[in-house]
Structure 1
């Protein structure tokens, strides 16, 4: 009965989505406030129904209801409870349910927390959000039915893919989807503004907090996915330029450009065309990622499905929404005035350059990802575009952003003194050069790592140069009221500084990969293996039984200068139901670097083939991402961005009485 309730709730949610499309839109055209007011209850009720359907599917997984095809194919009665819950989205049907849940959550959030938005714009935007919900609910009901029954239920299920039986599954997909689908709010607001014809500085204030929320979650989702691949796949890498990895990077780049463009539009009412285009682009690229994962057009460890019918349905969704939004954009673009004028040397000018470089880098990744697919569809030729292409195209386009970002922060709006700003960065740049020399003296080559490390130090220190200038302005005695000025800084200033510094932290972690050590060898008990500055030794081999697997464990010690500094236990797990093996890498963090060991199957003589790595400063890659996300959260906490309108000042009592 609970399962049927979930299916009925999905169908009812689709009906409400259709009403959400028609009633608010009709009310906006007819200037009928009552019809426009239906947008909020429709969006909230639709979310409640999808949440009920999702809860019903989760219940079926938790109680191991093997009368459902989805549970049979992706669960097992002995599977740990955390993977029964997270395994709901570890398959195509369940992941689409999660997508629909977050999509309707975004619609409900827009309805509940956007009371500052004019009623007509809100009605049009929620109507567009209803179109998105209806399309994906129809997709689920027609091609990806999660509540399909099986005539003769088996006693046991097929278990979940062993690679997905990891805590990362409980964290990575929800964060990534909150980022992907979070951009749907920005997309709907942009489409609603194009329909209504109202695009001004207020529109930029409306979309900035939603853009920040999506960007923060997407940053965390990409970072978590990178770390999950790093420790789960056993190859010691955190980024492979896999097509689906690229599909998550594309909306992040577009969203980053949108944040900067919206700030210019809000301050100067300029870059309207840029802002609207990037709002459409960010969610369009999120939809593209969905198509790549579920269409079967590529082979990837991230792929969920290879059903051409599903792929064609999603392709139709892409054509409908991306094509429709771009058509609206084409009609309205000529009417968008330029807004405030600014000199090329100004903060606005540098943000325009920033956007150009970000979109060019996005285009390079887009072309490198889709060109092999397009070529194969055109003439059947198969080529591979790998890391060398992306490093040689993306790197040179992104590098100027790292150099120019701190300079742009120090420039004034409208017109600025470039030489003065450069002089304020002189000491920071000198520190970066000194850091390059220091890294070269300590680590040697490669040159790319040394240069990138110096740029990272420059970026981290320069990120706080604007804050320093505001606390100790020129012409003011340095100690006078410094604490008061520091306390008076808005949270958005700290957020921007922390986000830029986090980018520098990640860059330093990436640069340090050039100084890592890799050793592929066969581990014999009690033998020493030198990996970087550390000596590794296997002390014993053990076996254990898990709930649905058996495990061979290698107990190892790490020593430096003859002293043991850590112990760890890399292992190999064999899952009985799926007849699959996975490596559980042994990872120990030492001074921000990591010793990483992944073992293969045990050999007849009792030895293990293994990959051993010393990865200096590798932890900074993910710590930097956390800093970027924290910076975005601080900016979001600034009331001016969270609400989008100024707080009304309290009037004196006598004036309140006069009012």
Structure 2
């Protein structure tokens, strides 16, 4: 009975969304306050009903209700409880329900916490949000019902894809979706502003917290996915420019540009049309990712095997939302008043360069992702691969100037800046960056020039960021007590910016070190044989058969020595899931800040040799690789610090306006 309750709740949510999509926007047009305020209750009703549906599906997974087709296809009674719960969003239908649930959460959050937003703007925003809900709720109810029944019920399920049965990946989709869908509310704000015909500093201030929350979550989701790929897939890489990786990366790039553009709109009243366009394009890229993953265009560990008819529905929704919003933008944008003027050397100019590079980089990734699909369609099935060589050659050279400008940006003043004075303050940073690069060259004694250039620019950004923060609190210039007081009084948004910029520099060190100076050995080994790599001696002691909850595995025993001293034991596994009929690789990693010693095993060299104990062993040493996830964590924490700043809380502007009005003398 619970699945029927969930199905009925989705139908009620659709009814609520239809009301919310029409009544509040009519109220805003006619000035009817009651109709505008109806958006609050319909948004809360939506999130309540979709929440009931999501809880009903999760209950079916937890209890292994195999009368539900979705549970039968993506679960098994022997599966650990954590992965039963994660199975709720491990399929097309379940992940779509999670998508819609997060969509309604954002709508409800604006209705509850947006008390400072003018009633007309909030009503229009929530109506636009409801238009998106109507599209996805109808898609789910008519083509992708997560509560379809299966009679007679089978005795057990087919199990979730073993690659997805991992703690890291259990949290990866919710974080990604929170980021994807979080940009929907920014899109709704943008369309509402176009309908209203007004974009100002207050609008930018209202939009920034929602943009920042979505960006943080998308950052965490991408980082967690790269970490999962690194330790789970067994090839030792953290990014492969897979098309489905790219469709999560593109909204992140555009969302980063949107964050910085909104700052200019808020502080200087400039970039109004550009900020609106970025808000539309960022969410459009999120929808594009949804289409690519669910249309059957791609075969990937990330993609859902979905028939093309469902993809056509999403394609229609994509065309309607993107086409409609861009048409509205082309009509309304020329009417917006231009913002403040600025000189070529200024903070506005620096942020403009930031935006242009990020937008161009997004275009490059989009071209490399979609071109093989168009080529296959035009040539009638002939396949073309666009892989890491293209992306590395086209994308990385664009990012280096961006990182260099990031180091300069915080030193530039608004409207007009003294470039000579800025460079004077950064001369010591430049010298230290060159010295650090020379030290890396001395230690590595080989590598591409681009690698050393990347290290130098990463160190430049890190030191420039630290110096700028020290200047703000006047560290070593005044007493320690005074510096501490300045640290406490400095806005948390300033601390967040410094932490995020430093985090990117740290992550960049990890990207470069693990890519340029990685060592790898792939060998056939029998018990007692040793492999030498990066100063480590790794001895294969043999392999044993072990059992897990719903799998059995061949586990290798490796002894790691350096200079004759035993450092650790590593136990990589090759798991077999009998129900799913598939194998996975579980790597074993010795992690340090200096680098990772990474080991995985594959199938025996041959059946004959395997019987005598010979295995394919993959050993890698990846310098600085953990800096990738340390830097990513710093990015997320920096965003969190900024989000906690009182100036970005949604209730502050109204109180400030009220306070300023109270100071106006009565006539």
Aligning the two structures, in what range does the TM-score lie when normalised by the shorter sequence? over 0.9
8 A contact 2:347–2:413 mirrored in 1: yes
Q: Distance in 1 between matches of 2:658 and 2:273?
A: 37
8 A contact 2:115–2:651 mirrored in 1: no
Deviations 1:8-36 (A, max 9, x none): 00011001000010110111111000010
Q: Distance in 2 between matches of 1:473 and 1:79?
A: 55
- Summarize the alignment of residues 163-312 of structure 1 with structure 2, pairs less than 5 Å apart: 163-312=163-312
SS state at 2:386 partner:
coil
Q: Distance in 1 between matches of 2:345 and 2:31?
A: 45
8 A contact 1:57–1:146 mirrored in 2: yes
Provide the residue aligned with 1:120 in structure 2: 120
Tell me the CA shift for residue 650 of structure 1: 11
Provide the residue aligned with 2:611 in structure 1: 604
Q: Distance in 1 between matches of 2:187 and 2:309?
A: 26
- Summarize the alignment of residues 104-503 of structure 1 with structure 2, pairs less than 5 Å apart: 104-380=104-380, 381-446=382-447, 447-472=449-474, 481-503=482-504
Tell me the CA shift for residue 486 of structure 1: 3.0
Deviations 1:332-378 (A, max 9, x none): 11111111111111100111111011100111111111111112222
SS state at 2:241 partner:
coil
1:643 equivalent among 650, 653, 661: 650
8 A contact 1:190–1:276 mirrored in 2: yes
SS state at 2:154 partner:
coil
Instruction: Give TM-score scaled by structure 1 length.
Output: 0.97
Q: Runs (4+) of structure 1 moved beyond 6 Å?
A: 476-480
The size of the alignment, in residue pairs, is 655
Q: Distance in 1 between matches of 2:633 and 2:586?
A: 24
Tell me the CA shift for residue 483 of structure 1: 3.5
8 A contact 2:169–2:224 mirrored in 1: no
- Summarize the alignment of residues 429-578 of structure 1 with structure 2, pairs less than 5 Å apart: 429-446=430-447, 447-472=449-474, 481-513=482-514, 514-578=516-580
Tell me the CA shift for residue 546 of structure 1: 1.3
Deviations 1:414-445 (A, max 9, x none): 11101111111111111110011000000122
SS state at 2:351 partner:
helix
Q: Distance in 2 between matches of 1:655 and 1:502?
A: 42
8 A contact 1:516–1:532 mirrored in 2: no
Tell me the CA shift for residue 649 of structure 1: 10
Q: Distance in 2 between matches of 1:649 and 1:37?
A: 22
Relative distance call for 1:85 and 1:16 in structure 2 (3 A) is same
Tell me the CA shift for residue 471 of structure 1: 2.5
8 A contact 1:206–1:644 mirrored in 2: no
8 A contact 1:254–1:278 mirrored in 2: yes
Instruction: Give TM-score scaled by structure 2 length.
Output: 0.95
User: 365-374 or 124-133, which moves further after superposition?
Assistant: 365-374
Residue 618 in structure 1 maps to residue 618 in structure 2: no
User: 506-515 or 378-387, which moves further after superposition?
Assistant: 378-387
- Summarize the alignment of residues 70-85 of structure 1 with structure 2, pairs less than 5 Å apart: 70-85=70-85
Tell me the CA shift for residue 477 of structure 1: 6.5
Q: Distance in 2 between matches of 1:121 and 1:542?
A: 65
Provide the residue aligned with 1:69 in structure 2: 69
Tell me the CA shift for residue 592 of structure 1: 4.0
SS state at 2:611 partner:
coil
Deviations 1:220-277 (A, max 9, x none): 0000011111111111111111111010110000000001100000000000011000
8 A contact 2:92–2:306 mirrored in 1: no
Deviations 1:390-416 (A, max 9, x none): 111111211111111111110000111
Which ranges in structure 1 are unaligned for 5 or more consecutive residues? none
User: 441-450 or 63-72, which moves further after superposition?
Assistant: 441-450
Q: Distance in 1 between matches of 2:267 and 2:214?
A: 22
User: 449-458 or 107-116, which moves further after superposition?
Assistant: 449-458
SS state at 1:601 partner:
strand
Tell me the CA shift for residue 456 of structure 1: 1.3
Residue 5 in structure 1 maps to residue 35 in structure 2: no
Q: Distance in 2 between matches of 1:444 and 1:213?
A: 43
Q: Distance in 1 between matches of 2:294 and 2:354?
A: 33
Deviations 1:585-608 (A, max 9, x none): 111202341111110124221121
Q: Distance in 1 between matches of 2:283 and 2:414?
A: 29
SS state at 2:649 partner:
helix
8 A contact 1:205–1:644 mirrored in 2: no
8 A contact 1:519–1:611 mirrored in 2: yes
Tell me the CA shift for residue 211 of structure 1: 0.5
Relative distance call for 1:337 and 1:545 in structure 2 (3 A) is same
8 A contact 2:475–2:483 mirrored in 1: no
